[in-house]
């Protein structure tokens, strides 16, 4: 059952991160998709950049103890990108993002997880757009496959249970910082 507080945190996150989410969508990969001009090279660039963000992000997640209900091991997705980029990984290590948002507290973890879990929903939209352009992306953009909606609902439920009057501001701040750091990394050459 949804409580007023769990609904409130989701509404706040959606509203207060919207400008950062919209800014993130202005990277060259998303602009090419919006224009109907995606290429394999641009898709590979985007996947390499996402890998460079996800690896240090997931390393930080691994430093914390998670209750089993979060299924945190299942939520790690950097390894999926390697399946989509065999040529890029064969040529050596991919660069990693050096400036990650802080993920020391429970609310910081929740805010960052909101951003990356939300990307599983957007990834399915991107996968359909790429398929129309004849660009095969087998794993990363598929999210959790037919379980993506269920995983998102599970995350929202757990986030609602974890949010309190005291930690909501920190959760939202962390989500905003995560969007900002990811945007800066995608725009860094």
The mean pLDDT of 96-113, rounded to a whole number, is 95
Confidence of residue 34 (pLDDT cuts 50, 70, 90): confident
Measured CA to CA, the distance from residue 133 to residue 37 in angstroms comes to 8
Measured CA to CA, the distance from residue 68 to residue 81 in angstroms comes to 25
Nearest to 110 by CA among 161, 182, 165, 185: 161
Fold of 4-186: Heme Oxygenase; Chain A (1.20.910)
* pTM summary value: 0.92
Q: Is the pLDDT of residue 160 over 80?
A: yes
Residue 175 in contact with residue 114, Cβ under 8 Å? yes
Report CA Rg, the chain.
16
How much helix, strand and coil, in percent to the nearest 5, is found in the chain?
Answer: 70, 0, 30
Main-chain dihedrals φ then ψ at residue 69, nearest 5 degrees = -60, -25
Q: What pLDDT does residue 181 have?
A: 96
CB atoms within 10 A of CB 178: 26
Domain range annotation of the chain: 4-186
Cα torsion angle, 36, 37, 38, 40, sign: positive
Q: Is the pLDDT of residue 161 over 70?
A: yes
Q: Is the pLDDT of residue 91 over 70?
A: no
| 142: its two tokens | 């598929």
Confidence of residue 78 (pLDDT cuts 50, 70, 90): very high
Measured CA to CA, the distance from residue 26 to residue 35 in angstroms comes to 12
Q: Lowest-pLDDT range, 108-112, 120-124, 170-174, 180-184?
A: 120-124
Q: Is the pLDDT of residue 1 over 50?
A: no
Q: Is the pLDDT of residue 153 over 60?
A: yes
């Amino acid at each position: 059952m949804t409580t007023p507080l769990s609904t409130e945190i989701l509404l706040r996150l959606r509203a207060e991160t919207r400008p950062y989410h919209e800014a993130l969508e202005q990277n060259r990969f998303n602009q090419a998709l919006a224009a109907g001009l995606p290429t394999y090279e641009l898709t590979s660039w985007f996947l390499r950049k996402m890998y460079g963000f996800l690896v240090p992000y997931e390393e930080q997640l691994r430093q914390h103890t998670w209750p089993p209900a979060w299924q945190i091991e299942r939520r790690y997705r950097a390894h999926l990108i390697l399946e989509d980029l065999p040529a890029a990984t064969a040529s050596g290590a991919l660069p990693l993002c050096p400036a990650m948002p802080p993920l020391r507290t429970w609310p910081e973890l929740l805010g960052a997880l909101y951003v990356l879990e939300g990307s599983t929903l957007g990834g399915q939209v991107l996968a359909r757009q790429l398929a129309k352009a004849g660009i095969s992306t087998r794993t990363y953009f598929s999210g959790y496959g037919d379980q993506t909606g269920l995983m998102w609902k599970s995350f929202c439920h757990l986030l609602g249970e974890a949010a309190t009057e005291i930690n909501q501001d920190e959760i939202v701040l962390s989500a905003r910082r995560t969007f900002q750091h990811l945007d800066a990394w995608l725009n860094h050459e």
